[in-house]
Amino acid sequence: MPIARREFLRIAAGAGILALSGRAVAGNARPKVVIVGAGYGGAACARYLKLWEPRVEITLIEPNPHFVSCPMSNSVIAGLNDLEDITFPYDHIRAVVDHFVPDTVLAIDPDKRAISTASGQRFAYDRLVLAPGIELRFDQIEGYDTAAREVIKHAWKAGPEQTGVLRRQLEAMPDGGVFVMAIPMAPIRCPPAPYERVSLVADYFKKAKPRSKIILMDGNQDIASKKALFLAAWKKHYGYGTDNSLIDYRPGNQPVAVDAGAMKVTCEFDDARGDVINLVPPMRAAALTAMIGARTGDNDAWCPVDYRTFESTEVANVHILGDAILSNLSKAAALANNSGKLCASALAEIFNGRQPDPAPVLTSTCYSASSEHTAFHVATVFRYNPLDQGMEVQPGGGVSLEGSEQEVEFMSGWARNIWADTLGLPEDYRFTNRF
């Protein structure tokens, strides 16, 4: 059941924090909030804003017909879940908001506070919330054109044409074949996900294609997340560090080119050929944010925000959530979900003429699987520091000592909880994921 906003603030899962600029909407007027993107950040923001301030008129715009979860999608690639197990309807969040619009935003006018969509609709807003996710920069990889993308998948946005195709490619690969994964330097969406993907594919190969190998070309100089835990798992399960290792890890190798005909990836120092290639290009905040001048940080790649409110520091009355922001926070589902709630609380305060929380708290728990039977987690607590206007790590977090079977159960429960919380799924919703 949803918790009350005051209780939510008390336990620090996302204290209220919003724009310290702008005006309250007084009297009986209904504030208009348009939310673009119904992922972990946008859907959570819509749901909790309506819960905490029912008079707000919420328009939620989402082009995709279903919610497909990036968290747990590696389990589909490894054959531990089916794509249907991580795919959910928008029916329940649709019932919460005033208008659910299956459309694509084409233009935003911040001065007139209005947006236009591909179908010709126009929506006015008092506040705009953008939760648009990432833009994959295929142009940064020579040869990664439209034709190459038919053969070589990134699978960094979950769905049948990416996650599903990569799974089928691995199933069709002969025993003794080579799977090459190439990833860019951070920041990227979900930093531990590449190492989890390699782990679970290695688990699949160990059982179904034991003569096969994996080459991981990493643009980072070392494993960028949960290094000790992944290394321990690779040594324990996949012979890492021996002549019989399933995983050939090559750090410091930013991918720069691909030849789909020759099935070859060229990186800064090494080339790699594979029977199946999974190439993840560099990324930045979705193009929608650049349209209004909000994407200015880190060489125009990410969007700076006021963490008390998640309002853009560049564009007034526009709030940005999730993976698109410039931050020391990991680009992860839990933080997107929590930032959506935090933004919702702050908006409720602003619309009632009150100040948002001046020192909000965010929490994040991130699970990674290392085999069919083992997983581990990192939990982190952040609080806003007004001195440097940033989010600082606080006591109270923790990290697994090692992978375990119990943490697989915890991971599955975490996934079901965040899916239900984000989308407003009912208590009797029948989840089908096996892992």
Domain that holds residue 243: 149-281
Residue 182 sits in a domain whose CATH number is 3.50.50.60
pLDDT digits (tens, 9 = 90+) for 277-300: 999 999 999 999 999 999 999 999
pLDDT digits (tens, 9 = 90+) for 268-277: 999 999 999 9
- DSSP one-letter code for 315: S
Q: What is the pLDDT of residue 17?
A: 34
H or E element that contains 81: none
Query: Is the domain of 202 the same as that of 267?
Result: yes
Instruction: Tell me whether residue 68 is in a domain.
Output: no
Q: How far is CA 319 from CA 74, 180, 246, in A?
A: 30, 38, 44
Instruction: Tell me whether residue 306 is in a domain.
Output: yes
- pTM (2 d.p.): 0.93
Q: What is the pLDDT of residue 187?
A: 96
Q: What is the pLDDT of residue 4?
A: 53
Measured in whole angstroms, how far is the alpha carbon of residue 180 from the centre of its chain? 23
CA distance 203 to 30: 53
CA distance 47 to 162: 28
Q: What is the pLDDT of residue 72?
A: 98
Query: Is the domain of 11 the same as that of 117?
Result: yes
Query: Is the domain of 48 the same as that of 112?
Result: yes
pLDDT digits (tens, 9 = 90+) for 22-46: 445 555 689 999 999 999 999 999 9
Q: Which residues contact 158 (CB under 8 A, 6 or more apart)?
A: 68, 69, 70, 73, 76, 86
Q: Which residues contact 112 (CB under 8 A, 6 or more apart)?
A: 124
Q: What is the pLDDT of residue 19?
A: 34
If you average pLDDT over residues 106-132, what whole number do you get?
Answer: 98
Q: pLDDT band at 18, cuts 50/70/90?
A: very low
* 435: nearest Cα among 39, 66, 74: 74
Which carries the bigger pLDDT value, residue 397 or residue 345?
Answer: 345
**What DSSP letter does each residue of 142-188 carry, written as one string?**
BT--HHHHHHSB---S-SIIIIIHHHHHHHHSPTT-EEEEEEPSSP-
Query: Is the domain of 156 the same as that of 269?
Result: yes
pLDDT at residue 109 is higher than 60: yes
CA distance 182 to 8: 40
CA distance 210 to 205: 5
Buried b / exposed e along 55-73 (16+ C-beta atoms within 10 A): ebbbbbbbeeeebbbbbbb
Which carries the bigger pLDDT value, residue 5 or residue 87?
Answer: 87
Q: What is the pLDDT of residue 393?
A: 95
Instruction: Tell me whether residue 253 is in a domain.
Output: yes
pLDDT at residue 6 is higher than 80: no
Query: Is the domain of 276 the same as that of 294?
Result: no
Compute the mean pLDDT over every residue in the chain, rounded to the nearest whole number.
94
If you average pLDDT over residues 321-336, what whole number do you get?
Answer: 95
pLDDT digits (tens, 9 = 90+) for 210-269: 999 999 999 999 999 999 999 999 999 999 999 999 999 999 999 999 999 999 999 999
Q: How far is CA 406 from CA 372, 402, 409, in A?
A: 12, 11, 5
Domain boundary among 328, 356, 384: 356
Instruction: Tell me whether residue 297 is in a domain.
Output: yes
pLDDT digits (tens, 9 = 90+) for 144-166: 999 999 999 999 999 999 999 99
Query: Is the domain of 223 the same as that of 120?
Result: no
Structural domains of the chain, count = 2
Give the rounded percent of residues in the chain with a pLDDT score beyond 90: 92
Instruction: Tell me whether residue 115 is in a domain.
Output: yes
